[in-house]
Structure 1
C-alpha cells in the first residue's frame, strides 16, 4: 500500500552529591516555594509526524510584551528556570566538536512517531454508511521508529548528505491497532538525499535555521522570545506553547552550536507555563530533565530533555494528556533523540539502515 492509498483510507475528503543532584535539589526547593503557572492550549497535527512547530495564538498587537526574569511571574516555573539556567551556563563552557577539512559532523536522530488512521474494515464502514466520512471512533494508532542522519561537511556551503530509514512499528494499543499496523506495513523506503549547502529541494534550511538566520537572531533572551512570537504569528491556540515548540524544533536538528543552545535554554526559561515534567527522563538510553508545557485544550505537552550539568540537548517529545485513537494518556506520540559524532566520511548508500 502506498502513501496515497493510506491517506485515502484515512479520509476521503537527582553525604556525596553530584552536580546533577545539586541542580535537582535546587529545583525541588524552588518548585516547593513557587507559584504554579497557567497552562494555555495549542493545536497539533495527528497524522504520522508530530514534531514540528505550528504557530502561536496571540500577536503582539502593536505592543512589546517584555518577558520577566527567569523564575519570576510571567516566566517559567522557578524550578524549571533553575534547570534551564544551569544548562545554559554549562553550555557556555562547552567546546564544540572540531570538524577538520574533509570531515563531517554526523548528526543521528533516533525517533518514534505516532501513526493514526483507520483499518481497512473501519474505512469500508465509513464509505458505506457515512459517505466516506471518518469519525474519531474510527481511528486507531500505533508507534513506529525511524533512524535518520545528516552529515554536515566542514565547509557548510558544500553538499550535506541525509539518510532516512524506513519506519518500523514498535508499539501497538490493542487488536485494532495491531491490525492497522499490519495493514500499513511496507509503506516508505530508505531514502538518501543530497542537501546542497544544507538546504532541501525547496530552499528550506536543514534544522529550519540557516547560518544567516542564526547570525540574525537577537542574543538577548528576552528579545529573542519576542522575535519568536513575531515569527510564529497569530495562528494557533497558544503563543507561549508555540514558542517552546519553536525552540524544540530547532534544538532537535542537532546541528546547533553550544552558544546557540545556551541562548535557547535561557529563552525557554522566560516562557510562562514551562515546568519540570519529569526529573529523570530517558530517551534512547540517555537521561536528563524533561522541561515542558501542557496544552490542555488540545491534550498535548511539548517537552525538551536536557542535561543540566553539561548543557547537552538529549531530545524532545510530545506527550498525550488524554486518551486519543486507542493511545492512553501519557503516551509519547512523538520523540527524537540526537547524538553527534565527527567522522571522516559519509557511509555508502543507505548502509545506516542496515544496522
Structure 2
C-alpha cells in the first residue's frame, strides 16, 4: 500500500493527537532522519475535538511530498490507532480479522455418511394485510425452519418450513388476519409452502443452491483474497439494494447464514466485510437466540436503520442477523430490533 492510500484511510472520527504526543513522536522521527525538531504541526483535515459518524469522507490533503505525509502518519500512529485501509473502522477491522482467524482454527462439523448437518433458523419479521375495506393491518411474527444437509451435498436435502405466527403483543385483528393467511399458505403438491420439502442437491422449487452465484457444491472459483472477493460481491449485487456497500454487506451475511460455507471462504467473507466503508462494531455483547456474540453493522444512507451481523468470536460461526431502528418513529423508539434471525448448526443422524 502506498503512503497516499494509507493517509486516505485515516478516519475523521479520530480527533487530533495531544500536542505533547505530537511533539514527542516528532522528535523521535526527526532525530532518526537527522533533522532538528520544530513546533508541532496540526494534521491536515483533523481539527481538534472533531468527531463524526463512522462513514468515509473525502478530504483534500495538501502535501509537500508523499514521504513527508508518511512521517506525520508515523508520528501519530504511536498513540492513535488508525485503520490500515479505507474500509470499516479500526475496531471493526480488528474483530472481523479475529473472526477470520477463529474460523480457520475451528474445525468444520464432521458429517459422516448417513448423517446430516442440521441448520436451524428462527426469524422475527414484519407482515401486513389490507382488508376489503382498505384498512391495513401490520404486525410482527415469528417463523422457524430446519434444513438437513447430507454428507454428500448432491444427495437429498430436507427442508421443514414451519408456519408464521404473530407475536403475543399483536392486536386481535392482526392475529385474525395472520390466521387467514396461514390457511392460504397450507397448499398441496408442488406449491407446498409449509411442511416438508425434499430435493436432490437442495434444489428446492427447482432452484440450485448457490453462494454468490457459484454452485454450493464447488466454491473453488470464488476468490479467497478479501479484496478480490469483495469486488466479486459488488459485481454480483450490482444494482441491488439502497447502496452498493449496504447490499454487499447483506450478501456476506446471507452467505454466512447458510451454515454450509467452507471455512476458508467464511474467513475471507469476514475479511471482505472489513473492507466495506461504514462497517462498525455495534455491540460486543449482543444476544440473539439465547446466545451471545459480537455484532458488526452498517447503517442505511438516511441513518434510520442499521443491519447487524452477529457471530461467535470464539469460533467465527455466524449466530444471527438483525435490523435495528436508529430513530424514533410513531409507536416505536430508537434502539428497537425490528427484524432478526438466529442460526444454529449441529450434526444429526437422521432427517424427517
Q: TM-score, normalised by structure 1?
A: 0.69
Select the residue among 59, 66, 80 that pairs with 2:92: 80
Change (3 A) 1:171 1:338: same
Moved more, 322-331 or 293-302: 322-331
CA contact (8 A) 1:71 1:269 kept: no
User: What's the secondary structure of 2:266's corresponding residue?
Assistant: helix
Are 1:217 and 2:227 matched, yes or no?
no
Select the residue among 257, 263, 285 that pairs with 1:280: 285
1:337-348 matches, within 5 Å, as 337-347=342-352
1:235-291 C-alpha deviation (Å, 9 max, x unpaired): 443111111001011111122222222111111011100001122111111001110
- Quote the Cα distance in structure 2 between the aligned partners of 1:256 and 1:200: 18
- Quote the Cα distance in structure 2 between the aligned partners of 1:300 and 1:202: 34
CA contact (8 A) 1:307 1:314 kept: yes
1:172-222 C-alpha deviation (Å, 9 max, x unpaired): 46xxx5522332225144321112112222323166652356221111001
- Quote the Cα distance in structure 2 between the aligned partners of 1:267 and 1:277: 18
CA contact (8 A) 1:103 1:343 kept: yes
Select the residue among 126, 147, 150 that pairs with 1:153: 150
Question: Offset at 1:146?
Answer: 1.1
Change (3 A) 1:201 1:317: same
Aligned to 1:305: 310
Q: Rg larger in 1 or in 2?
A: 2
Change (3 A) 1:195 1:207: farther
- Quote the Cα distance in structure 2 between the aligned partners of 1:332 and 1:258: 29
Greater RCO (Cα-Cα under 8 Å, separation 6 or more): 1
Q: TM-score, normalised by structure 2?
A: 0.69
Question: Offset at 1:308?
Answer: 1.9
Change (3 A) 1:150 1:236: closer
Aligned to 2:44: none
Aligned to 2:173: 179
CA contact (8 A) 2:210 2:216 kept: no
CA RMSD between the two structures? 2.7
Aligned to 1:289: 294
- Quote the Cα distance in structure 1 between the aligned partners of 2:129 and 2:91: 39
1:72-111 matches, within 5 Å, as 72-111=84-123
Question: Offset at 1:338?
Answer: 1.1
Select the residue among 186, 195, 198 that pairs with 1:194: 198
Question: Offset at 1:298?
Answer: 7.4
- Quote the Cα distance in structure 1 between the aligned partners of 2:335 and 2:215: 34
What runs of 5+ residues in structure 1 fail to find an aligned partner? 1-30, 41-69, 127-137, 348-355
What runs of 5+ residues in structure 2 fail to find an aligned partner? 1-12, 16-50, 58-81, 187-193
1:221-242 C-alpha deviation (Å, 9 max, x unpaired): 0111111111111344311111
Select the residue among 224, 228, 234 that pairs with 1:229: 234
- Quote the Cα distance in structure 2 between the aligned partners of 1:278 and 1:141: 29
CA contact (8 A) 1:315 1:335 kept: yes
